[in-house]
Amino acid sequence: MTEAKTPPMDSPSGDVEILIGDSRDLLSRLEARSVQCCVTSPPYWGLRDYDHAEQIGAEASPDGYVENLVRIFREVRRVLRDDGTLWLNVGDGYARNGGTGKSGPNAQVGNTRKRIQRRNCEVPDCWGLKDRDLMGLPWRVAFALQADGWLLRSRITWVKKAPMPESVKNRPSNATEDVFLFCKTPTYFYDNQAVREESGANLRNYWMLGPDPGGTFHPAVFPRELVRRCVLLGSRPGDLVLDPFSGSGTTDVVAVELNRRAVLIELNETYAIQSKARMDSGLQRTLFLRPGQGSVQVKR
């Protein structure tokens, strides 16, 4: 792993800290049992290039990706309070041989770049995958986390009101993603009154969400409403929320709007700086950018 760079700016410490560097290094510096709720979306395997040699998602094979995520979320478990929760959004993908067209796993869409695509133009030699197989990555990650000690409590289907168009003719177009709810112990904090169905019934496990225009500098931004639900269900005002793959900082923008504190980790310094600007522009009171080196103190 490369060393984290010194950030270009500092500001007085406040409710949110951005740690610039690799989650595999930086999580170990957070205090055990300090975080109430982790809401995160790691890079999907083989989909996008986040411009850093140590990026998750660029592993040669998806089984290496699952191993890396297990290792990172083991540290997340350590820093979670015993009644804490992990809300994990992971995307799927197809095993493909060749292809660099306008759709499918090798497409040049948005900020998708070629480096990862070339590597994944061969069907990975694992899990008995064949050309055009859906890899089932969300569930492979979920099963691996279960085996590592996590308690899996729910699979929420995020139904996209405006999904990315796909020009496929031999299968239905993808319009959903998975969000898994994990916990450490059976007696975890879950505020079932915080988000209800319109009828007043207990919230169901499919969430229909539209696109969110905020945070457009990043290619894979969470809808704020998705994060809002996870934070409201999984924490109380004043609690600490973590995102170890923070991207444009959506988790933290929402956490602060809901009067939680937040700590986020992002490998790509440019995204970290841009997310600071996003939060400084009216959504965030104070923010402390901290290098990956030296000790990390989570403000209380």
4 touching ligand SAM, by CB under 6 A = no
Q: Which own/partner pairs from 278-283 qualify as long-range (CB within 8 Å, at least 24 positions apart)?
A: 278/214, 278/215, 278/217, 278/248, 278/249, 278/253, 279/16, 279/249, 279/252, 279/253, 283/253, 283/256, 283/257
Separation of alpha carbons 76 and 180, rounded Å: 15
Task: Tell me the residue length of the chain.
Answer: 300
CA angle 45-50-55, nearest 5°?
A: 60
Contact between 61 and ligand SAM (CB under 6 A)? no
Contact pick of 15, 17, 22, 269 for ligand SAM (by CB under 6 A): 22
Shorter beta-carbon distance to ligand SAM: residue 115 or 130: 115
Among 18, 30, 220, 287, binds ligand SAM (CB under 6 A): 220
245: contact with ligand SAM by CB under 6 A? yes
Is 288 an interacting residue with respect to ligand SAM (CB under 6 A)?
no
Q: Which is nearer to ligand SAM, 84 or 247 (CB)?
A: 247
Residues 34-53 that bind ligand SAM (CB under 6 A): 41-43, 50
Judged by CB under 6 A, the residue of 34, 54, 190, 236 near ligand SAM is 54
Region of residue 105 (phi > 0: left; psi between -120 and 50: alpha; otherwise: beta): alpha
Contacts 24+ apart (CB under 8 A), 116-121: 116/46, 116/47, 116/48, 116/49, 116/57, 116/58, 117/46, 119/46, 119/58, 119/60, 120/45, 120/46, 120/96, 121/96, 121/97
Segment near ligand SAM (CB under 6 A); pick from 98-106, 146-154, 240-248, 279-287: 240-248
- Select 36 or 55, whichever has its Cβ closest to ligand SAM: 55
* Placement of tokens 């800290």 in the chain: 17
Please state, in angstroms and rounded to a whole number, the distance separating the CA atoms of residues 18 and 254: 15
Q: Is 269 in the site for ligand SAM (CB under 6 A)?
A: no
Identity of the residue, 5 or 171, whose beta carbon is nearer to ligand SAM in the bound complex: 5
Q: Which of 66, 232, 263, 267 binds ligand SAM (CB under 6 A)?
A: 267
User: With binding defined as CB under 6 A, does residue 150 bind ligand SAM?
Assistant: no
Regarding 59 and contact with ligand SAM (CB under 6 A), the answer is no
> With CB under 6 A as the contact rule, which of the stretches 126-134, 182-190, 215-223, 276-284 interacts with ligand SAM?
215-223
DSSP per-residue letters across 136-180: -HHHHHHHHHHHTTPEEEEEEEEEESSPPP---SSSPPP-EEEEE
Residues 128, 220 contacting (CB under 8 angstroms): no
Q: Confirm or reject binding of residue 93 to ligand SAM (CB under 6 A).
A: no
Residue 258 or 267: the one with the smaller Cβ distance to ligand SAM is: 267
Instruction: Confirm or reject binding of residue 250 to ligand SAM (CB under 6 A).
Output: yes
Binding of residue 90 to ligand SAM (CB under 6 A): no
Residues that bind ligand SAM (CB under 6 A): 22-24, 41-43, 50, 54-56, 215, 218, 220-222, 245, 247-248, 250, 265-268, 271
